């Protein structure tokens, strides 16, 4: 079974837009778990425009499922935050400062030595590491040398091309997944996966362990309600 981790950044964005604590980020996370989500994901950024650093401490104290913290490990504050919280998983994403959303994976060839060093830092603290990568076989091959436990396939290109030709859209992801399976690297995926394209992706990609979904899921919840939305996403995976 592929696990569903709910990214709650958008809940934090809504809260921050008015100040105060409405909606309550911690309550939403606990509700996601209650409704069947198998993990909670946050992606704090330096400007704290959605997830605040304190949020990670508040969430870590109560989350019973897997806690996944995403972010750019070139920011020392992020590294310190992860080590202080010791989540189940840290996902290393090469975001530039001020970037609206993640839009590319790591170049695991160019940054091989750096990633190897950072992967070791987190693994020594008992944290599983996933590296955000584009669906390129060479990037997966060189991810192995970093010692990472998993990769997270960046799925925006798949989502954009899905309606035009889903077989063509998923082809590079399938090749990357086969290589990861061959090398013994775990596979996660995320970005723009939704109720329309998720089922085909999950059924086609061998060894898919986890998907992290935020924007689409929270948007769907406006119409369907959070509990019904999570049930529908779980149904796509199972």
CA-CA distance, 101 to 20, in Å (whole number)? 24
Is the pLDDT score of 99 beyond 60? no
- DSSP-derived secondary structure letter, 157: H
Alpha carbon distance, N-terminus to C-terminus of the chain: 7
- The overall average pLDDT reported for the chain is 95
Catalytic residue among 33, 70, 152, 210: 70
Is the pLDDT score of 198 beyond 90? yes
Catalytic residue among 43, 111, 142, 210: 43
User: Class of the 3-237 domain?
Assistant: alpha beta
Active site annotation includes 43: yes
Domain ranges of the chain: 3-237
Give the annotated binding-site residues for 3-amino-2-oxopropyl phosphate.
7, 18, 192, 214-215
Cα radius of gyration (the chain): 17
Taking residues 194-208, what's their average pLDDT? 98
Active site annotation includes 141: no
Question: Within 10 A of 115 (CB to CB), how many other CB atoms are there?
Answer: 24
What does the block give as tokens for 60? 């870590």
- Please tell me the predicted confidence (pLDDT) of residue 46: 87
Is the pLDDT score of 167 beyond 80? yes
Give the annotated binding-site residues.
7, 18, 45, 50, 101, 192, 214-215
Strand ranges (DSSP E) for the chain?
A: 3-7, 39-42, 66-71, 89-92, 128-133, 150-154, 186-190, 208-213
Catalytic residue among 33, 142, 152, 191: 191
Q: For the segment 20-79, what is each residue's pLDDT rounded down to a tens digit?
A: 999 999 999 999 999 999 999 999 988 889 999 999 999 999 999 999 999 999 889 999
Q: For the segment 119-159, what is each residue's pLDDT rounded down to a tens digit?
A: 999 999 999 999 999 999 999 999 999 999 999 999 999 99
Give the annotated binding-site residues for 1-deoxy-D-xylulose 5-phosphate.
45, 50, 101
């Amino acid at each position: 079974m592929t696990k569903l981790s709910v990214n709650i950044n958008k809940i934090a964005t809504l809260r921050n837009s008015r100040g105060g604590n409405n909606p309550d980020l911690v309550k939403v996370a606990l509700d996601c778990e209650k409704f069947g989500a198998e993990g909670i994901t946050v992606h704090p950024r330096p400007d704290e425009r959605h997830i605040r650093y304190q949020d990670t401490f508040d969430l870590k104290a109560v989350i019973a499922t897997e806690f996944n913290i995403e972010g750019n490990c070139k920011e020392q504050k992020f590294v310190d935050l992860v080590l202080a919280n010791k989540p189940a998983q840290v996902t290393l994403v090469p975001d530039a400062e001020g970037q609206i959303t993640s839009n590319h994976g790591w170049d695991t060839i160019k940054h091989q030595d750096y990633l190897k060093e950072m992967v070791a830092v987190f693994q020594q603290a008992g944290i599983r590491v996933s590296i955000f990568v584009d669906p390129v076989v060479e990037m997966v091959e060189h991810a192995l040398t970093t010692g990472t436990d998993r990769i997270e396939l960046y799925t925006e290109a798949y989502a954009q091309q899905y309606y035009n030709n889903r077989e063509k859209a998923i082809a590079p992801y399938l090749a990357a997944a086969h290589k990861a399976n061959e090398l013994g690297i775990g596979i996660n995926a995320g970005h723009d996966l939704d109720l329309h394209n998720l089922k085909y992706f999950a059924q086609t990609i061998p060894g898919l362990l986890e998907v992290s979904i935020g924007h689409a899921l929270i948007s769907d919840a406006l119409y369907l309600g959070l509990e019904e939305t999570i049930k529908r996403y779980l149904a796509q995976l199972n």
